A = this chain, B = another copy of it.
Amino acid sequence: MPDNSINHYHRLIQELRARGFRITTPRCWTLRVLSEQSGHMTSEQVYQSLHEYDIQVDEATVYRTLQWLADNRIVTRTNLGLGADVFSLYHEPHHHLVCLNCRATIEIDDSVFADLRSDLRKAHGFVPQMDHFAIFGLCKLCQSQATDQAAD
């Protein structure tokens, strides 16, 4: 486990303890595997990872743990249109471009939403909680393929 992952993981545990939450095996290890994978995991994937560490945790418990972490804003839960929701640590907000054709996902910075955020607030008094967003469309490559096909 890389140093920064370990540190991040320990910081999270401390934070939960400080907030008065109980530290249990499923919670510890769920956070561990999420810290290692900088990416996004389905509940199923978290479950598999735990078992690779020989940590026997029930699948329902993984769901409950992830849901609980999401409720406490430790992780985000996102529907990337891939069937199951994906979960990831909620540190720096970031978002995804998902190609409808090849399913590639491009990670993008939160800053692209700065203007949109202030527009929505001004126009509708609405404060978006865009922690983790998925935008569907066509990636560069798949666009050119589409163009090629049209030219046939």
Complex contact A124–B106 (CB within 8 A): yes
Give CA–CA (A138, B112) in the complex, Å.
20
Give CA–CA (A138, B113) in the complex, Å.
16
Complex contact B135–A120 (CB within 8 A): yes
- Give the copy number: 2
Number of interface residues of A (CB under 8 A): 28
A130 contacts the other chain (CB 8 A): yes
| CB contact between A125 and one of B79, B115, B123, B140 (< 8 Å): that residue | B140
Known contacts A79-B79, A79-B81; A139/B125 CB under 8 A: yes
Q: A residues engaging B (CB < 8 A)?
A: 79, 81, 97, 99-100, 106, 108, 112-113, 115-116, 119-120, 123-130, 135-140, 143
